[in-house]
Amino acid sequence: MNNGYEAVIGLETHAELSTDSKIYCDCKNAFGLEVNSQVCPICMGMPGTLPTLNEKVVDYAIMMGHALNCRINRVSKQDRKNYFYPDLPKAYQISQDDTPLCADGYVDIMVNGVERKIGVTRIHIEEDAGKLLHSDKFDGCSLVDLNRCGVPLIEIVSEPDLRSPEEAKVYLETLKSILQYLDICDCKMQEGSIRCDVNVSVHKIGEPFGTRTEMKNVNSFSAAVRGIEYEINRQISVLEAGGTISQETRRWDDVKGESVLMRSKEDAHDYRYFPEPDLRTIVVEQERIDDLKKRIPELPNRKILRYVKDWGVAQKDATFIAENIELAELFDSCMAKGRFSARAYTTWILGDLVKHLNETGKTVSQTKINADNLTDLVESIEKNVISNAGGKKVFAVLLNEDKKVSDLIEQLGLAQVSDTSELEKIADSVLAENEKSVNDYKNGKTNALGYLVGQCMKASKGKANPQMMKEIVLSKLG
């Protein structure tokens, strides 16, 4: 790090859960609908209304807790976090203070080929606030849309275990792909489905941790990386100039590419947490916790480690495949056949298949590619039945049609000629017709060989097995 400094980064990540209804009322949990159309007295915070907890929120949070190796607390409560802001009609947010649903977990990530274990302090459930809209149409006044009020969130708090913007990025991407695997968050960054607050401090290596600042309003992973880089550099320059870092909350302005002071420690918020009296203590039966654990599939971060360590796949490729659940399922079932190398499959999956998916916007299951036909195709190439170029033609058909590879090879006339006597016949006639090149070769012009083999391939209409063809021509040239 710069000038012997090391950064210490912790992240508080908020993810909106994709339940059908909101956390404490029956209003629809949906993005992009007409402003203030998905509201009721409960989520608008009318006096005298009573919240009822959506149990699905508890299930989803427990699933994330399992995925991040947390202890699931069988008993937890909900608390009021009091603050005033126009997008929060109740003037408090229902959250969890000292008894989160999940605690003491970790997540394994891989950064530049190195495995890292990042501690997860806690995961708690809470409600989202509304959204302020600023419009010139109303004399510069702000308007409020309460559709987002009461949308369920989980907040995932990491330990200060991250040491670089790069690690923070991988950590966030890992959380995102896990949420997608569990199908509990739509992960649409542009709709604010995942947001984070960033804590950063710097210290000289070997010295105690420095004072940290908190940065709010980070709405994308790239903004998180830029914000962290900016804050690390800002703190180092303050320290190098003989100054001190004060504990403060800053707001990241991604357009300007800088963080600005929001409030210092002196005017830090006192949220006056107290137990929410309108909701019962959350008590989760052990059986429910165990049942939810059974619903957790092998997660993408585990798959990445397995692909890299067991199958020798490059980290970048492993990540790409693992983060797409369908690609990962295809790759895993191909490898489960135990017949060909990972590389034989990744060439097709990351090449022609991904290209097709990108071009058509389709998903893997919308094509006809599966582990069986892909393995047949790989086998045909490895056994020299068809060339790689022929394989591409077969693959193009397999994308859209449910056909047998062997039938397609015949139909398309792609089978390579590997019959020695047939190849010898071709070689004989080509050599007879190209006496000059034959003499050139014999006089030491070795590049004449390429020309002769090329002529043989042409005479076979590209169907000769190129390796065998070359060997036969060589032996005939003696």
Q: Using CB under 5 A as the criterion, which residues of the chain lie in contact with Zn ion when the complex forms?
A: 25, 27, 40, 42-43
Of the pair 42, 426, the CB lying nearest Zn ion is at: 42
Residue 86 vs residues 25, 71, 94, 136, 225: alpha-carbon distances, Å: 20, 36, 16, 18, 30
Contacts of residue 278, defined as CB under 8 A and 6 or more positions apart, other chains included, come to 50, 51
Query: CB-wise, 50 or 141, nearer to Zn ion?
Result: 50
Nearer to Zn ion, 10 or 130 (CB): 130
**Residue 163 class from Cβ within 10 Å (0-12 exposed, 13-18 middle, 19+ buried)?**
middle
**Residue with smaller CB distance to Zn ion, 42 or 120:** 42
Residue 198 has which token pair? 């960033």
For Zn ion, which is the closer residue by CB, 51 or 300?
A: 51
User: Parallel, antiparallel, or unpaired for β 71-72 and 282-283?
Assistant: unpaired
Q: Which residue has the tokens 């607050």?
A: 197
Alpha helices in 200-254 (DSSP H): 221-240
Nearest to 417 by CA among 408, 426, 429: 426
Please list the residues that pair with 284 across neighbouring strands: none
Nearest approach, Cβ of residue 33 and Zn ion (Å): 13
Angle at 47 between CA 42 and CA 53, to 5 degrees: 35
- Residues 6 or more apart whose CB falls under 8 angstroms from that of 238 comprise 244, 245
Q: What's the CA gap between 23 and 74, in Å, rounded?
A: 19
Of the pair 57, 350, the CB lying nearest Zn ion is at 57
36: region left, alpha or beta (phi > 0 left; psi from -120 to 50 alpha): left
Please, which residue, 42 or 364, has the CB nearer to Zn ion?
A: 42
User: Residue 90: what residue type?
Assistant: K
Pick 27 or 228: Cβ nearer Zn ion: 27
Neighbours of 443 (CB within 10 A): 8
**CA 179, CA 156: separation in Å to the nearest integer?**
11
Residues 331 and 353: beta-carbon distance below 8 Å: no
Residues with Cβ within 8 Å of 242's Cβ and at least 6 positions away in sequence, in order, are: none
Q: What gap in Å lies between CA 307 and CA 325, rounded to an integer?
A: 14
- Closest residue by Cα to residue 59 from 149, 187, 182, 175: 182
Of 27 and 202, CB closest to Zn ion: 27
Residue number with CB closer to Zn ion (9 or 146): 146
